[in-house]
Amino acid sequence: MRTEPAEDSTRLADWIERGARGDEAACAALFHEFYPSVVRLSLGLLNDLDDAEEVAQDTFVYALRNLGRYDARRSAFRTWLFTIALSRCRNKRRRKLLLQGPLELLAGEAPATPREVEAALERRGLRRQLWQALQALSEPMREAVVLRYLGEMRYKEVGAVLGCNPKTAESRVRLGVETLRRTLTEQGAAPEWQWSEASA
């Protein structure tokens, strides 16, 4: 998992301090450092790249405006940022469910995998079912699995973002992975070449 070397944390503290004073270069540095990871996290939770980018930008507007409130003694900057993003993803998802959920339920259709995700999966020879199974997990399990694997966080950090203790976070991740394993086994673990041929 990701570690922060000492020089990185010093550089980060400097960006945060300057960013809190309104320094554009420091804010831009923070943005470019963390924007891709926030988008990936949001994409894993929302299953829509446009929504993920919108949520990530909204997260940064809030975070950069409130940099003065960030307390490095309480949590890592990435944990703080992911907590804001998670809260916004939940709101976005609930609003979308309210608007589109009933229609999708009536139609009985599973949400489609974004084409950007499909392309990324294809490049690595991964199966589309993995993403679909991830999206089909219950909200607490999906959040934990996405934070752990797509966010590349330790259990302690996952717990801090979800507001639970690390043991609970770990058990949610384990349960999520076990559910994914069962789903993929039931669907039949087709070899990669079969999937590639089918999708071609």
Partner 1 sequence: MSRREVESQLEQLASALKTMPLSSEAAWDRVWAQMKMPRQVNRWPLALSMSLVAATFAVANVVPIRYHHAPTLRAAYLPAPVLVERTPTPLGWTAPAVSGATAAPPLRFDVAPVPRPPGS
> Whose CA is closest to 37, among 150, 177, 167?
150
Quickly tell me which residue has 């399990």 as its tokens. 141
Which of 4, 13, 50, 61 binds partner 1 (CB under 8 A)? It is 61
Closest separation in Å from C-beta 121 to partner 1: 6
Decide if 26 contacts 14 (C-beta within 8 A): yes
Which of 5, 73, 185, 198 lies at the binding interface for partner 1 (CB under 8 A)?
185
With both helix axes pointing from N to C terminus, report the angle between 166-187 and 128-135 in degrees, rounded to the nearest 10.
130
Residue choice 20, 136, 150, 175 for contact with partner 1 (CB under 8 A): 150
Given 64, 84, 161, 162, the residue binding partner 1 (CB under 8 A): 64
Decide if residue 145 touches partner 1 (CB under 8 A).
yes
> Whole-angstrom Cα distance, residue 132 to residue 128?
6
Q: Is residue 70 a contact point for partner 1 (CB under 8 A)?
A: no
Q: Are 179 and 137 in contact (CB under 8 A)?
A: yes
Contact pattern from residue 87 through residue 126 relative to partner 1, giving x for each residue in contact according to CB under 8 A and a dash for the rest: -----------------------------xx-xxx-xx-x
Contacts of 103 (CB under 8 A, 6+ apart): none
The size of the interface with partner 1 (CB under 8 A), counted in residues, is 41
